Amino acid sequence: MNVLADTWAYLRDPDSWLGPGAMLDLLWQQLLLTGTALAVAVALGLPLALWLGHLGRGGFVAINVSAVGRAVPTFALLAILVAADWPGSDTLGPYGRAGLATLIALTLFALPPLITNAYVAMTEVPADVKEAARGMGMTGRQRFWRAELPLALPLVLGGVRLALVQVWATATIAALVAGPGLGRVITDGFYRNDYGQGLAGAVVVAAVALVLEIVAARVQRLSRPTDRRPDPLSVNSGRER
């Protein structure tokens, strides 16, 4: 109970939130890291995965590259990048110390779910839809943009949603190499036996992850194609009249 009381007291203290290196500063830093890493991963991974899925080729390479990416521990990769001559632990503008190393590690971590979901989404578009689009005389590019991608989009965004939450949560490990983000609140708290501070940092990370999940799930639901076909019951009842 004392730990919970200390956690609540830390969260209520304005000094915990305001000022350089306080939680609001570190929260913004971690959001910036997450958003940048996800944007780079989307730019690198989605076009290739979508196009390979459209062609129906390269599935073995796409899926296995993603599997290798999942197998490599993100912290191990981050430690190697920080210890290397480049990118090292140099400060990168608003991203903080070891900012570039953290961005590279998080970007590589985000790629597997993006690539897997995008490729699978394109290959699972019904064959009759593709054939109908081809029968209408659409070019390959037109079939991709007007027929396949709209149907695949919800599953593609599912991969983005998964990558977003995973990257946000994983970004806290940067603190283990004195890097940026809210993980510093957690590590500093437990290092100094201030368990209230450490738990407070964990609570904020979990709360933001929940908010990101809710927002991303909403966007994914909105991307689902709307079935505009008339209701057979209403059509029949109209005819009977």
The answer to whether position 3 is within a domain reads no
CATH of the domain at 112: 1.10.3720.10
Instruction: Give residue 199's identity as a one-letter amino acid code.
Output: L
Q: Count structural domains, the chain.
A: 1
The answer to whether position 131 is within a domain reads yes
The 10s digit of each residue's pLDDT in 32-69 is: 999 999 999 999 999 989 999 888 877 777 777 777 76
Instruction: Determine the angle formed by the axes of helices 183-191 and 23-55, rounding to 10 degrees.
Output: 130
Give every CB contact of residue 176 below 8 A, 6+ residues apart in sequence.
75, 78, 183, 187
Which two tokens mark 113?
């779910």
The answer to whether position 52 is within a domain reads yes
Q: What is the pTM of this model?
A: 0.88
The answer to whether position 137 is within a domain reads yes
The 10s digit of each residue's pLDDT in 182-238 is: 999 999 999 999 999 999 999 999 999 999 999 999 999 998 876 444 343 333 444
Is the dihedral angle over the CA atoms 46, 37, 103, 168 positive or is it negative?
negative
The answer to whether position 201 is within a domain reads no
The 10s digit of each residue's pLDDT in 91-150 is: 999 999 999 999 999 999 999 999 999 999 999 999 898 889 888 888 888 999 999 999
The answer to whether position 56 is within a domain reads yes
**How would DSSP label each residue in 145-209?**
IIIIHHHHHHHHHHHHHHHHHHHHHHGGGGGGGT-SSTHHHHHHHHHTT-HHHHHHHHHHHHHHH
Q: Which single residue is written with the structure tokens 């296995």?
A: 64
Domain hosting residue 109, numbered range: 28-185
The answer to whether position 99 is within a domain reads yes
